[in-house]
Amino acid sequence: MKQNITRRAALAALSSAAAVAFPGLSLAQADRPVKFILPNATGSGVDAITRAAAPAIGKALGVNVVVENQAGASGVIGLQAMAKNPPDGLTLSVVSNNVVIFPSVIKNLPFEMPGDFTPIAVLGATPLVLVANPQKMPTSSSREFIAALRAKPDGYNFGSGGTGTILHLAAEMFVDEARVKARHIPYKGVGPMVTDLLGGQIDFAVLALPSVQQHIKSGALKAVGMCGDKRTSAAPDIPTFVEQGLPTYVIDAWFGVLGPKGMSAATVKKVNDALVQAFNDPAVKETMAKQGNTIAISTPEHAQRVFRSEMERFAALVKKVGIEPQ
């Protein structure tokens, strides 16, 4: 009898410890890995960021972290898959600001943003860069690049990871600001689009800097300009378009973490705290700096406000550049 009581007490103690380590999760659940379902293809900026931080996030949470890419339908498929999971903190997504553009560009969106999710944090921003295949287009400066586009209206094309994504919108904004024409070629993810850009099947694209740094360094792709308002320390030699005569062309990509709808406040706080700890890890900070990412992790409350306000901002931009909902 005493042995049974001792065993029962030990199990109770372990269960209490698990609850403290990860509020809202049972001991059995805490033994499972935390899965990040990314609505982006392998090779995207979000993918590079998540995989770089995953070991540190796992260490902060005290569990293993698994990263699973579920690209398709511009990211809708992956978000749907994540949303169907229990709100226990074991299934999350790292997302770009694609998710706040969806309501403006996708008809019959199968979920409400952000109402059908739990915003946990805005993590920071990643710089966008317009790159071109130097075998297909003159790229020594934005002036030369724009002149080539004007000389052959509709003679060039640009790719994106999907219709209505931040990469699509950023390229459409460039076309609008530069007063040129180019044909949009949407892909099912960034990876295959970059492959075709390298192969010359498409001419140019806007991409997250981390996803194309190696190709810029090798000379396979040429950076025409950074899309933010200032240069990035990760690529200080690449001028902005503001410097090159397009003073109102400024856009970047922020990224954050979402969970399924209905996560408890305690679980949200635990995940948010773990993200703060992970992104302050020296190795992660070094990688983020090399990629050019700016990390500034928000509270869950601020994340909720950002998701809603950014939906309004991007709705106006979508209307301005004339992207029709599909």
Query: All domains of the chain, ordered by start, with CATH?
Result: 19-126+253-321 (3.40.190.150), 128-226 (3.40.190.10)
Q: What pLDDT, on the 0 to 100 scale, is given for residue 2?
A: 44
* Residue 42 burial (10 A CB sphere; 0-12, 13-18, 19+): middle
Q: 68: which 2 tokens?
A: 């699973």
Return the SS3 of 151. Answer: helix
CA distance 178 to 90: 45
CB environment 247-277: b (16+ within 10 A), e (fewer): eebbbbbbbbbbbbeebeeebbebbbebbbb
Provide φ and ψ at 291, rounded to 5°: -80, -15
Pairing between β-strand 91-96 and β-strand 34-38 as defined by DSSP bridges: parallel
What is the mean pLDDT for each group of 10 consecutive residues in the chain (326 residues)? 46 40 44 91 87 96 95 87 95 94 91 94 96 92 95 94 90 95 91 95 96 95 96 95 95 95 96 97 95 94 95 91 85
CA distance 81 to 149: 40
Q: What pLDDT, on the 0 to 100 scale, is given for residue 27?
A: 28
Q: 81: which 2 tokens?
A: 């898959």
Closest CA to 50 of 80, 21, 70, 26: 70
Read off the pTM.
Answer: 0.80
My answer on whether omega of the bond before 114 falls inside 30° of 0, hence cis, is: yes
8 Å CB contact between 211 and 194: yes
* Residue 1 burial (10 A CB sphere; 0-12, 13-18, 19+): exposed
Instruction: For residue 209, give Cα distances in angstroms to 16, 94, 181, 189, 290.
Output: 44, 17, 24, 16, 10
